[in-house]
Amino acid sequence: MKSIDWKPPLLVLAVLLGALLLIGSPSTWFTLTVAGVAMGLLIFLMAAGLTLVFGLMDVMNFAHGVFIAVGAYVAVSAMKLASGAAGADSLLVNLGALVPAMLAAALAGGLLGLFFERVIIRPVYGQHLKQILITTGGMIVAEQLIHVLWGPDILQLARPAALKGSFLLGDMALEKFRLSAVVIGLAVFAAMLVLLNRTRIGLLIRAGVENKEMVEAMGYRIRRLFVAVFVAGSALAGLGGALWGMYQESVTVHIGASMMVLIFIVIIIGGLGSVLGCFTGALLVGLVANYIGFLSPKVALGSNILLMVLVLLWRPQGLYAVGK
Amino acid sequence: MPEPLLTLSGVHTHIGHYHILQGVDLAAPRGELTMLLGRNGAGKTTTLRTILGLWRASAGGVRFDGQDITRLDTPAIAARGIAYVPESMGIFAGLTVHENLLLAAREGPLRDERLEWIFRFFPPMKKFWDLPAGNLSGGQKQMLAISRAIVEPRKLLLIDEPTKGLAPAIIQNLIAAFAELKKSQTTILMVEQNFHAARSLGDSVAVMDAGRVVHTGRMADLAADEALQTKLLGLSLEAHQ
Ligand SMILES: Nc1ncnc2c1ncn2[C@@H]1O[C@H](COP(=O)(O)OP(=O)(O)OP(=O)(O)O)[C@@H](O)[C@H]1O
Ligand SMILES: [Mg+2]
């Protein structure tokens, strides 16, 4: 198979080690690292669809945050409906609440994505400025609808009973929910790698991200593929939103919009259209946000922008440039 | 005479505000290699792209294999049996040689006899089977682009300047491969600036200038007539070598 470019993963490793030196205490470092990886993987879930959508069709979708928000809100309602099972003493019963809630969040994200693609984005193919304006407008309208449906207040999104609290490893605490987020994020990443590298659809997506015109000249309808990727990406955003809401244990209407800055940083760092880049970039952003949040809270957001600038100075097309 | 496999009649193409093709009449007879010649900017690439629907003809018509394909979209046109090797080659750099060919084989799995046939023209395709296409040399990329076009039998190949930028030895290889390919009776419409290649491969020829076809005939006749070459192409073809 293909050789992998190992420099970006080494950069992640360097960040991990550098942080250990700066932070000093291994247990603090460990907690921050787990938090950073969990956050990074959740950002990856939310960002993966957007990077493919941009790569395939050059579509700038500023409404992506709405798919995140709607996933989080649907999860709030679903968990409330299943609050008995979510509060029960058994992990298995908890999963009976959590899994349907996550699926409902993904479904809601996917359906809203389908609607956006059909109604809002389709008329403005190839016109970036219009895409930005109209998707931003769509986002505002959708946020208002969320207000109407769920009200303006901050809502609680409780974790299921078995995922509250931490495991203790010596003096190091490992939050159960963070660990679950890591597991889910890695599972989705692995599934995406298999899909992209081992299936014909994946082959078409990778080729389409590189050169859409050539894929069409070979006789394939890339539009249908794009709709499928758009919906799948929106569903992942919905799932990511639900998990992110649970990570923070609360949900506001801006939960998606507030993540968009980090998401854009991630897909730019990773290289537009690259899933591997998105994954690596998300880890970097999650780790840096947590390390700097601890070391010097005032510059937390600035630190990720600085990270982006440094990466782009090193590799102007992002960590894993997609050959156009 | 049988109907040519491909016929363009009075084709006009606009790109933005520019009126690029201004009534192109062109035919590619079945089983022949038709050379499309012309100065830089004459409209050769635009003609190929219009046939494939990558640009839309604003007037006129394109018939392929007895049917009007002018209004079809690109995937539908390609699916009728047209393969395209663009000037830029259009290979997928992040995909391996194998994956590039896999994608080009629309009808199903790769056929061993067909691959062996391709490997005979282009041995590096076998050697670099699992290498990302982006790592190939320029000549090998061109071989891959052509292999992709013939990985399944197609009725018509549109090939844009296959020898552009390649070293003379590689060009010789390509010419030999095309000569071999011609034995399979595939219909080819090829744009070529290299005279040696054009003369040794072309059966018929069409010369474009300023968005129109200004000459059609047999390649051998044009190759023998230096005065006509000078008139049509500015320099004599001999001088292009
Ligand atoms: N995308 C485009 N936008 C505007 N004008 C274009 C575009 N593509 C081609 N043209 C113009 O159309 C004319 C024909 O171009 P075309 O590429 O078809 O020529 P060509 O015969 O293939 O030339 P060459 O031998 O240089 O490849 C040129 O004047 C070119 O500048
Ligand atoms: Mg050209």
In-domain check, residue B196: yes
B171 and B233 together in one domain:
yes
Give the pLDDT of residue A171. Answer: 82
Helix/strand/coil (H, E, C) string of A115-184? HHHHHHHHHHCCCHHHHHHHHHHHHHHHHHHHHHHHCCCCEECCCCHHHCCEEEECCEEEEHHHHHHHHH
Question: In this complex, do B103 and A204 lie within 8 Å of one another by their Cβ atoms?
Answer: yes
Q: Which residues of B touch A56 (CB under 8 A)?
A: none
Please tell me the residue having the least CA distance from ligand 1 atom 3: B15
Question: In this complex, do B130 and A2 lie within 8 Å of one another by their Cβ atoms?
Answer: yes
Q: Could you give the 3-state DSSP secondary structure of residue B67?
A: strand
Q: How confident is the model at residue A58 (pLDDT cuts 50, 70, 90)?
A: confident
Give the pLDDT of residue B235. Answer: 63
Q: How many domains does chain B have?
A: 2
Tokens read off for A239: 């799932």
Please tell me the residue having the least CA distance from ligand 1 atom 5: B15
Comparing B15 with B241, the larger pLDDT belongs to B15
In-domain check, residue A323: no
- CATH number of the domain within which A140 lies: 1.10.3470
In-domain check, residue B229: yes
Distance CA A150, CA A140 (A): 15
Question: In this complex, do B74 and A216 lie within 8 Å of one another by their Cβ atoms?
Answer: yes
In-domain check, residue A319: no
In-domain check, residue A324: no
In-domain check, residue B106: yes
B193 and B234 together in one domain:
yes
In-domain check, residue A259: yes
B106 and B206 together in one domain:
no
pLDDT tens digits, residue range A254-267?
999 999 999 999 99
B158 and B77 together in one domain:
yes
pLDDT tens digits, residue range A207-231?
999 999 999 999 999 989 999 999 9
Residues with CB under 6 A from ligand 1: B 15-16, 18, 20, 38, 40-46
Cα B17 to middle of ligand 1, angstroms: 13
Supply the range of the domain harboring residue A306. Answer: 7-15+25-314
Q: Quickly tell me which residue has 């494939």 as its tokens.
A: B52
Give the pLDDT of residue B237. Answer: 47
Interface with A, mutate which of B95, B131, B154, B159 (most A CBs under 10 A): B95
In-domain check, residue B146: no
B112 and B160 together in one domain:
no
Cα B19 to middle of ligand 1, angstroms: 11
Question: In this complex, do B90 and A214 lie within 8 Å of one another by their Cβ atoms?
Answer: yes
**Residue ranges in B13-132 assigned as alpha helix (H):** 44-51, 74-79, 97-104, 112-121, 123-127
Q: How confident is the model at residue B108 (pLDDT cuts 50, 70, 90)?
A: confident
In-domain check, residue A1: no
For residues B30-55, average pLDDT: 96
B161 and B62 together in one domain:
yes
Instruction: Name the minimum distance, in Å, from the CA of B68 to any CA of chain A.
Output: 17
B121 and B46 together in one domain:
no
Supply the range of the domain harboring residue B183. Answer: 4-81+154-240
Q: Which of B78, B94, B130 sits opposite A217 (nearest CB)?
A: B78
Give the pLDDT of residue A300. Answer: 78
In-domain check, residue B149: no
Out of B107, B138, B169, pick the residue that ends a domain: B138
Q: How many domains does chain A have?
A: 1
pTM over 0.95? The answer is no
Q: Which residues of A touch B160 (CB under 8 A)?
A: none
B170 and B213 together in one domain:
yes
Between CA B82 and CA A200, with CA B133 as vertex, the angle to 5 degrees is 65
Distance CA A193, CA A269 (A): 19
B187 and B236 together in one domain:
yes
CB crowding A103-127: b at 16 or more within 10 Å, else e: bbbbebbbbbbbebbeebbeebeee
Question: In this complex, do B92 and A2 lie within 8 Å of one another by their Cβ atoms?
Answer: no
For residues A275-292, average pLDDT: 96
B70 and B174 together in one domain:
yes
Return the percentage of chain A with pLDDT > 90, whole number. 86
Element (H, E) at B239: none
CB neighbours of residue A89 within 10 Å? 8
- In a mutational test of the pocket of ligand 1, which residue from B15, B19, B20, B190 has the highest number of ligand atoms less than 8 Å from its CB? B20
- CATH number of the domain within which B30 lies: 3.40.50.300
CB neighbours of residue B234 within 10 Å? 13
For residues B44-50, average pLDDT: 98
In-domain check, residue B160: yes
